[in-house]
Amino acid sequence: MKELVLSTLATLTLLTGINAQNNGSLNLSAGKKFLVENKVITTSTSEMMGQSMETNASVTSAYTISLDGLKDNNYKMTNSISALRMSMSTVGQNVNFDSEKKEDMDGPIGTALKGYINQPQSVVMDQSGNIILAKDDDSTKATDSSKQTEIVLKQLGDPREQGFGAKIAFLPLPKNIARDNAWQDSTSEDGVTKVTKYEVKAINGNIATISISGTEKRDTKMEMNTMEISTKTSGKFTGEETVDIITGVVQHNNLSEDSAGTISVMGQDIPTTIKVTSETTVKSL
């Protein structure tokens, strides 16, 4: 059952970084600071041996973003996870974590994340909104501690690949954007294929209200505690966000997705339906 809990927690990444890239460009100013608050709620139902099991999970994260400057068309940032709360329940089991509680930070999840929570991280994002990751040092050997950290980070959607909040805080928009403008983007990476459609519903001053819809297919594998967990799902998502059309800074975003497929653990295919909702707010500091 523990493995089912962990594999279900991995589905929390469904709505992470749902903003696909486009031909637009960000226009951010050095010295600006932001607080990004993101909440993801997941309800999944799995069928095992003729029984239906429901899992409920909630992850609330806060990031601080500091724009250091623009060099060679890349934004240099110093970002961090400033707070993280998780709760999940399934079949009588409960998993809870709050980064503001010392006892939780001294536990297994907190120990794995001590190098990230409230620890400044260097982030590079190009003007098209792509995160530029530093190359891994092949000479660094993986330790048991680092492996545990990798597992936890993957369950959170890997904040490093999301630029510690940057991917959900900024959305490059096409030039000369206007009401009723519509465009479509598609991405395919690491077994996740996503098609996202945008349509401008209204513009009030510098703020555009944009509707979002699309489809997502997942065919991914991850190793957890020497077990391979495979996820094959397909779903549709809808939502709306408000964005500053001059800078590309997102003010508010809400999304929901319904998907279905199978999660395979130890050779057993588990039919699963998943509903995910997320809400993001970005505030200037």
pLDDT of residue 225: 64
Domain boundaries, given as residue ranges, for the chain: 2-284
**Mean pLDDT to the nearest integer, 184-207:** 89
For the ranges 85-94, 98-107, 172-181, the lowest mean pLDDT is seen at 85-94
pLDDT of 157 > 90? The answer is: no
pLDDT of residue 190: 75
Torsions phi, psi for 147 (to 5 deg)? -65, -40
pLDDT of residue 23: 62
Pick the CATH number of 2-284 from 2.30.230, 2.40.128, 2.40.50, 2.10.25: 2.30.230
Which pLDDT tens digit goes with each residue over 217-253?
A: 988 877 766 677 788 899 999 999 999 999 999 999 9
User: Mean pLDDT across the chain, nearest whole number?
Assistant: 83
Name which of 178, 179, 280, 276 is nearest 236 in CA terms. Answer: 276
One-letter amino acid identity for 16?
T
Spatial distance between the Cα atoms of 120 and 37, rounded to a whole number of angstroms: 17
pTM across the whole model: 0.84
Residue 197, C-beta contacts closer than 8 angstroms, at least 6 positions apart: 182, 183, 184, 212, 213, 214
Query: For residue 38, what are the β-bridge partners?
Result: 61, 280
pLDDT of 210 > 90? The answer is: yes
**Mean pLDDT to the nearest integer, 68-82:** 93
Spatial distance between the Cα atoms of 9 and 244, rounded to a whole number of angstroms: 33
Selected residue with higher pLDDT from 219 and 207? 207
Q: How many CA atoms lie within 13 A of 42 on its CB side?
A: 32
